[in-house]
Homo-oligomer: A and B are copies of this chain.
Amino acid sequence: MTFPVVGMVGGGQLARMTHEAGIPLGLRFKLLSDTPQDSAAQVVNDVVVGDYRDLDTLRDFARGCDVITFDHEHVPIEHLRALEADGIPVRPGPDALVHAQDKGVMRARLTELGAPCPRHRVVTGPADVAAFATEVGGFPVILKTVRGGYDGKGVWVVRSEEEAEEPFRAGVPVLAEEKVDFVRELAANIVRSPHGQAVAYPVVESRQVDGVCDTVIAPAPGLPDELAGEAQLLALRIAAELGVVGHLAVELFETRDGRILVNELAMRPHNSGHWTQDGAITSQFANHVRAVLDLPLGDPRPRAPWTVMCNVLGGDYPDMYAAYLHCMARDPQLKIHMYGKDVKPGRKVGHVNTYGDDLDDVLERARHAAGYLRGTITE
């Protein structure tokens, strides 16, 4: 059969789970991985070990792939343009991906589109940060490196001009944003195909601990329908205007006065969508791969009233196997997703999904399992 070959750049857990979702679809998967031990490299047959920053490596890798897609957003834009010039479909394409790579470009474009954003501007140094603070009503303000940040890295909450010095030390452009008075964080996840078909998942609540996603609740409890619809339409519009193909996560703040503001964009399967593996008719991974191949998209609706995802972070014990066994015994409905990664304190090494009719129960089961696997709960 002439089923297509999907070329995935990056060997992390998102690639691993996309491969898993591609198996029933009958797809061939080819992986460009930094090492043979990467999370996805352990489970994919056709693995090329190489550096995605090297154009020749990318070109060699792309030969024989019907489409190139990504586990992360770090491939240089000029390399993606070169692949496109070679005739390889790159999805999402460089014109979209630049908005996920560069927060300055993202903010400028969203503002141009009238998408609600925190007040922001690129700042030149600590004195400029102080000026920005005055414009937005005073410190604290948020500083972000425009490139390369993730999971709370590359982000600072600064309370004074003195504290604003550190972000500038790396010599990269810095974006200042007002500190939003939010009640919680939400994510609007959508998937869009090249010919413009799109599906929207239920808007979820995303809870962070120390800047890292800890818990996702689908759908976001108590979110008014109008606000949920507004968030979905916003994500669909951003995807269409930016030409996103595949999964787009729009991370949002829900403000105390009932508005939503865009926090971040991610153009790949996203942690806020892991619940869909067990909680939706079609997972974000299956729909991402369907989208990048321009296949019709699958139904994004939930299968249960509530689904909860909790990340499993590495704790003090390098071996989780005994805890994993315990969690399976305690909760036969628990869905565990391990990434095959070595345990390091604070590192995302897996997640758990639970679902059911009673949110309190679903939340407790997910939290208990994640805590037990990490070692912060011992009974």
Contacts and interface: CB of A to CB of B under 8 A. Distances in A.
Contact of A303 (B24, B282, B303, B324): B303
Nearest to A277: B24
A355 to B, nearest CB: 9
A320 B282 CA distance: 21
A150 interface: no
A329 interface: yes
Contacts of A298: 328, 332-334
B299 A25 contact: no
Interface residues of A, number: 53
Contacts of A343: 1
A23 B16 contact: yes
A42 B20 contact: no
Contact of A338 (B24, B319, B328, B334): B24
Contacts of A350: 26
A332 B299 contact: yes
A154 to B, nearest CB: 29
A84 interface: no
B42 A43 contact: no
A107 interface: no
Nearest to A24: B337
A43 B23 contact: yes
A23 B26 contact: no
- The interface centre, meaning the residue of A290, A297, A328 with most chain B CB atoms within 10 A of its CB, is A328
Nearest to A329: B296
Contact of A321 (B1, B319, B335): B1
Contacts of A24: 17, 20, 277, 335-338
A325 interface: yes
B23 A290 contact: no
A378 interface: no
Contacts of A336: 24-26
Interface in A258-301: 277, 281-282, 290, 295-299
B26 A328 contact: no
B295 A328 contact: yes
A376 to B, nearest CB: 18
A12 B290 CA distance: 24
Interface string A305-344: 0000000000000111100110011001111111111110
Contacts of A320: 1
B332 A295 contact: no
A50 B339 CA distance: 29
A20 B43 CA distance: 9
Given A23-B16, A282-B332, A319 B1 contact: yes
A28 interface: yes
A44 interface: yes
A335 B20 CA distance: 14
Contact of A45 (B45, B277, B318): B45
A29 interface: yes
Interface in A200-226: none
27 contacts: A1-B321, A1-B338, A2-B319, A2-B321, A3-B321, A3-B340, A19-B43, A20-B20, A20-B23, A24-B277, A24-B335, A24-B338, A26-B324, A26-B336, A26-B339, A28-B42, A29-B43, A42-B45, A44-B45, A199-B332, A296-B325, A296-B328, A296-B329, A297-B332, A298-B333, A299-B333, A303-B303
